[in-house]
Structure 1
Amino acid sequence: MLVSLSIRDVVLITRLDLSFGSGLSVLTGETGAGKSILLDSLGLALGARADSGLVRAGAGKLSVVAQFDVPPGHPVLDRLAEHDLDTPADSGAELLVLRRVVGADGRSRAYVNDQPASVGLLRRLGEIMVEVHGQYDTHGLLDPALHGPLLDAQGDLEAPLAACRDAWAQWRAAAHAHAAMLRDLEQTRAQEAQVRAILDDLEALAPSPGEDARLAERRTALMHAEKVAEGLSAALTALTQPADVDGALRAAQRSLERIAEVAGGTVAPIMEGLERAAIEVAEVLAQLERANADIDLDPRHLDQVEERLFALRGLARKHDVAVDDLAGLAERTRARLAALDAGGDDVAHLARAEQAARETYLGAARTLSDARAAAARALDAAVAAELPPLKLDKARFVTGLDSLPERDWGPDGLDRVTFLVATNPGADPGPIHKIASGGELARFMLALKVVVSRARPVPTLVFDEVDTGIGGATAAAVGDRLARLAREVQVLVVTHSPQVAAMGDHHWHVAKAADVADSATVTTVTPLDDDQRREEIARMLSGATVTTEARAAAETLLRAGGRTPAACREP
């Protein structure tokens, strides 16, 4: 709720600091005293459009600071967190401080919790914390975008609404999957001839993984076959001619074997070394003979290898892949064509899934619509009961439920919810802000707020002259409903009605006074004690001359409203 309002240099206000409490707070004073300046100042702190004409004459700038006590879990805390704005704490409570500065040149600056912010953010935060209802400037419940959420909250429709939103999300996901498959299938079909040509090329060549390296190695060997053959032959000749190295080693072994028994251990290591050497030489000779025999000296084979290698590399360049990826490209191309062949079945499956999700959504949405219709009837009846005492007995309040075209369906269902009124018998209901006059509009809003006060978490309501054009029992009914509303939320009301003023928990008097120091007229706001309050209500009853009868009537109104002198406290 609003806990304080500090105003500096706004029109006739030089310096003003007000503290607010819970319940019903009333502001009274003669016409032109400056009550509207207070509301204009509060509006600036809430992000209203700035006007340099509001800067007090002779001042360089104005400033307004509104401080709120934020209840735990209130939506404004989430909005602050979204913008990384810290919330200062006072005795453990969360605070929200909105500040607006407007220069005489018209330039405006906004601050949230002493951190620079945009005026747009200030306005959005203000709309969450305060709702203003006046004859000419009204927001909140008059915004058609709020009517649906308000009806859902008032009717406790969280469960069917959640089911509808979940079904909508599943339908959208199914529709997206279906559409994506259709796009892919259409794209593949458009390229089918090209894809099949690619596969024909790949299958004709039948590349295998690693073939590029093998062919390159084979090509190198074939290109140097004669030179390799010469080298192998020379090596084989060196080992066999003019002497046979293997035979010489074996002969040496036989010579040592004949003296081994009489030589003791002297020749044993030598014989072992000769044995190893003989084995190695025999293996080398066998390898040289095999390598020499395997040499391909047929020039046609080199042509075949080069032709295959160049064909593979050309195909790889054509499809912008590595040669070793040609086999993988062939597999992917086959899979793509297989998907094309099976695509019709997949699309049909997804189409059935989308249709099933649509039917589920429609079922959930129609259940929500039925629940809304019942909630609308209950809301209409509750508001209708509030209208006669507010001198709106000939008026009708109707919660309109219109079916949306399919293109406008959404997570919140199939309905457009609109609050409508008819002020004359037989007239068709129309949008509330277009049908009701200024005074009627404020009273309609009061009746509606009394019924739905718990459904919309706006902690502070402001009513500007909600009692215009009424008096007597109707004014008393307005005061009673404001008092009832103030049990749920904080209510500030600017009033000319003594019946309404007598219902307040707190009472301020707004007046003009002469500032001797500046030789100017200023607006003052004074909290009233018991006697001052009785005197102010008596003035409202009798006019300029306050009579004994007026004071007695004021006392009666205070007692009737449960505001005995003991209960009349300064805020």
Structure 2
Amino acid sequence: MLAALHLRDFVIVRELDLDFQAGLTVLTGETGAGKSILIDALGLLLGDRSDAGVVRHGAERAELSAEFMCEALSGVTDWLIEQGLSEDCAPLIIRRVIDANGKSRSFINGSPVTLSQLKGVGEFLVDIHGQHAHQSLLRHDAQRDLLDAYAGTTQVARDTAKKYQVWHTLAQQLNDAEQNAERFETERERLQWQIDEVAALNMQEGEWPELQLDHKRLHHAAGLIDGVQEGLMALSDGDDNCQSWLATAAHRLSQLADFDPSINDTLELIAGAEAQLAESVSALRLYADRLELDPERLSEVESRLDAIYKMGRKYRIDPSQLLSQLQEWQARLAELGGAEGLDALRKQVLAAESAYRKLATSLSKSRTSAAQKLSQLVTEQMQVLALSGSRCEVVLQPLTHPAAYGLEQVELQVANHPASPLRPMAKVASGGELSRISLALQVVTSQVANVPTLIFDEVDVGIGGRVAEIVGRLLSELGQSRQVLCITHLPQVAACGVQHLQVAKQQGKEGVISSIAVLSHEARIEEIARMLGGLDITETTRQHAAEMLA
């Protein structure tokens, strides 16, 4: 659950520290006070894109951090390990800093992370239902995503889309090839003989630079032999050599050391030089033993270099790039169907289509089963939300042609009365009804989700009276199993919270500043009375507010 939130210089917040409780927390305040700031901050902490506009005017940067307690969420621990991050979830701390130029840095448990990683961990922690969710539910893609989330098939749907893309790409290649069969065949044949010719060289990785080194050594073998012998003569084998000079000097100085011990320091240096000289002589003798004049090997190397060089010149490729070019040709030939040509490409298209349809069919079965259950549960919730006699059905309409998202279109259909036929939700529901249907959908889908914290941002728009009380109780019941945060303008909903936060806005020397305070019981009575009666709060209004809280 969300345990704490800290904001500094964020939009119109100078500094804010909030601790959160389990259960239902309500957030209220006058219009324009900045109630959505909390949602915006959490959105940024969970991967939303930012800009310089979120930094409070006059500040250098905005700092946001949230603390989550998620020891019981094994998925978070596994994800952290997979990402190479600290797996400590007690607590899990997410931090983000945005400077006045719009540049952003993000951290999880102190380690730098990307926005995609913030989004990744956020999927385990928080589910935000925005105040315009009922509007997005009019779109087919949003309805489909909602069903997949409820069915637990979101990843299957993504995999299906990938399979479709592979099939679609191969089918396009086949179509191009069939329309340009002559050009296709010409290119395939050209690639094949190019590959055969270069492959016949049997070039090995790193062979070209090794051949060049071997050629240089073999070509200068005579000079190397003479030079090494001269070196050995000077160092040890000649009548007048370095080793004898050093030995003579060391012997003479050792005699003088009897008169002045400080000469021993110099003798130690000479002894080191003698050791290094001996090692040099030994290494040079080993090298001399390996040196030989080998005209036959030299001829082989020159012949091999010449063959590779001519092949590179023929194709205007640096000899060192021949192997990589061969691999590119082989990859392109595989795209064109390999040695079998169009027949092989047709087989690839059929295999890709089969893989797609197999996964898409499995997805359809899961969606069908989940759609029946979701329709029933949402219809039951609609009765609770004073939509008596109405029903909602998740309809799966088969597509004429397969699509990336599957074999069917998902559509939410609603009937306002028992005798009314089902029709698309956009053509039936009014604004208030749409809000209630959206809330019913969100409550039902949230109950099966593993996310511990649910946030509702004014999803009660267009609701009032008795229905508002029902919505408050519904959110309160949801708060018994989850942590629920709800921004609301309804006193009936606000009265159901176990924690009540009030947003206020003041004009100060630094401009408009927004603050959020945790209300005591007495302060809650005043706030709910304000929500009931506006600016003119009477004792009767306060009594009514106290009764609602009770």
Deviation string 1:73-105 (CA, Å, 9 cap, x unpaired) is 454545544442x2363xx635141424242xx
Amino acid at match of 1:87: S
Alpha-carbon shift at residue 27 of structure 1 (Å): 0.9
Q: 1:468 aligns with which of 461, 467, 479?
A: 461
Say if 1:131 and 1:140, in contact at 8 Å, map to a contact too. no
1:525 aligns with 2:516: yes
- The equivalent residue for 1:10 is 10
Q: 1:95 maps to which residue?
A: 92
Distance 2:92 2:59 in 1: 30
Conserved? CA contact 1:150–1:455, under 8 Å: no
**Aligned alpha-carbon RMSD (Å):** 4.9
Q: Which letter maps to 1:553?
A: H
The reply on whether 1:134 has 2:92 as its aligned counterpart is no
Paired residues for 1:10-159 under 5 Å: 10-73=10-73, 75-84=75-84, 86-87=85-86, 89=88, 93=90, 95-103=92-100, 106-113=101-108, 114-136=110-132, 151=147, 154=150
Alignment partner for residue 527 of structure 2, among 531, 536, 548? Answer: 536
1:507/1:17 CA distance change after superposition, 3 Å: same
Q: Deviations over 1:222-268 (max 9, x none)?
A: xxxxxxxxxxxxxxxxxxxxxxxxxxxxxxxxxxxxxxxxxxxxxxx
Cα pair 1:401 1:415 within 8 Å, conserved: yes
CA contact (8 A) 1:22 1:489 kept: yes
1:112/1:140 Cα in 2 relative to 1: closer, same or farther (>3 Å)?
farther
In the superposition, relative to structure 1, how do residues 537 and 385 fare at CA in structure 2: closer, same or farther (>3 Å)?
Answer: same
- Give 2:371's match in structure 1, choosing from 367, 376, 396: 376
Alpha-carbon distance change, 427 to 357 in structure 1, aligned in 2, over 3 angstroms: closer
> Counterpart of 2:282?
none
In the TM superposition, residue 111 of structure 1 has moved relative to its aligned partner by: 0.8
- 1:502 equivalenced with 2:495 (yes/no): yes
**1:293-315 deviations in whole A, cap 9, x for unaligned?**
xxxxxxxxxxxxxxxxxxxxxxx
Question: How many residues are matched?
Answer: 391
Give the C-alpha shift of residue 383 in structure 1: 0.5
SS where residue 70 of structure 1 aligns? coil
Q: Which runs of 5+ in 2 are unaligned?
A: 175-183, 194-310, 312-338
Equivalent-residue separation in structure 2 for 1:124 and 1:138 (angstroms): 25
Q: What CA distance in whole angstroms lies between the structure 1 residues aligned with 2:49 and 2:452?
A: 22
Equivalent residue letter for 2:465: G
Deviation at 1:503, TM superposition (A): 0.7
Does the Cα contact within 8 Å between 1:67 and 1:97 map onto a contact in 2? Answer: yes
Contact 1:2 1:66 in 2 (8 A): yes
Quote how far apart the aligned CAs of 1:429 are. Answer: 0.6
SS in 2 for 1:443: helix
- Return closer, same or farther for 1:93/1:416 CA change in 2, 3 Å cut-off: farther
Question: How far apart, CA to CA, are the structure 1 residues paired with 2:350 and 2:106?
Answer: 50
Letter in 2 for 1:558: L
- Kept after mapping to 1: 8 A contact 2:24/2:476: yes
Amino acid at match of 1:70: C
- Paired amino acid for 1:126: G
Structure 1's 360 and 14: CA in aligned 2 closer, same or farther, altered over 3 A?
Answer: closer
Is the CA contact 1:35–1:510 (under 8 Å) kept in the aligned structure 2? Answer: yes
Which amino acid letter does the alignment assign opposite residue 377 of structure 1?
A: Q
- CA shift, 1:502, in A, is 0.9
The structure-2 alpha-carbon separation of the partners of 1:445 and 1:525, relative to structure 1 and needing over 3 Å to count, comes to same
Instruction: Decide whether aligned partners of structure 1 residues 446 and 514 sit closer, same or farther in structure 2, where only a CA change above 3 A counts.
Output: same
Alignment correspondent of 2:209: none
What amino acid sits opposite 1:379 in the alignment?
A: L
Partner of 2:540: 549
Distance 2:433 2:82 in 1: 39
Decide whether aligned partners of structure 1 residues 462 and 443 sit closer, same or farther in structure 2, where only a CA change above 3 A counts.
Answer: farther
- TM-score, with structure 1 as normaliser: 0.55
> 1:431 and 1:81 mapped to 2: Cα distance?
44
Of 481, 501, 504, which aligns to 1:488? 481
2:476–2:497 contact (8 Å) kept in structure 1: yes
CA distance in 2, matches of 1:54, 1:155: 36
Q: Report the Cα offset of residue 35 of structure 1.
A: 1.2
C-alpha separation in 2, matches of 1:506 and 1:399: 36
Distance 1:137 1:383 in 2: 16
Taking a change above 3 Å as real, the CA distance of residues 462 and 41 of structure 1, as seen in their structure-2 partners, is same
Change (3 A) 1:539 1:372: same
Answering whether residue 398 of structure 2 is matched by residue 403 of structure 1, we say yes
Deviation of the 1:442 alpha carbon:
4.4
The structural deviation recorded for 1:491 is 1.3
8 Å CA contact retained: 2:454, 2:483: yes
Which is greater in Rg?
Answer: 1
1:340 is matched with which residue? Answer: none
Preserved CA contact (<8 Å) 1:135 1:442: no
Contact 1:127 1:140 survives alignment (8 Å) = no
User: 2 CA distance for matches of 1:452 and 1:150?
Assistant: 8
Please give the TM-score of this superposition, normalised by the length of structure 2: 0.57
Counting aligned pairs with the same residue, the percent is 38
Distance in 2 (alpha carbons) for counterparts of 1:141 and 1:66: 29
Deviation readout 1:113-134 (Å, 9 max, x if unpaired): 1333333443444355333223
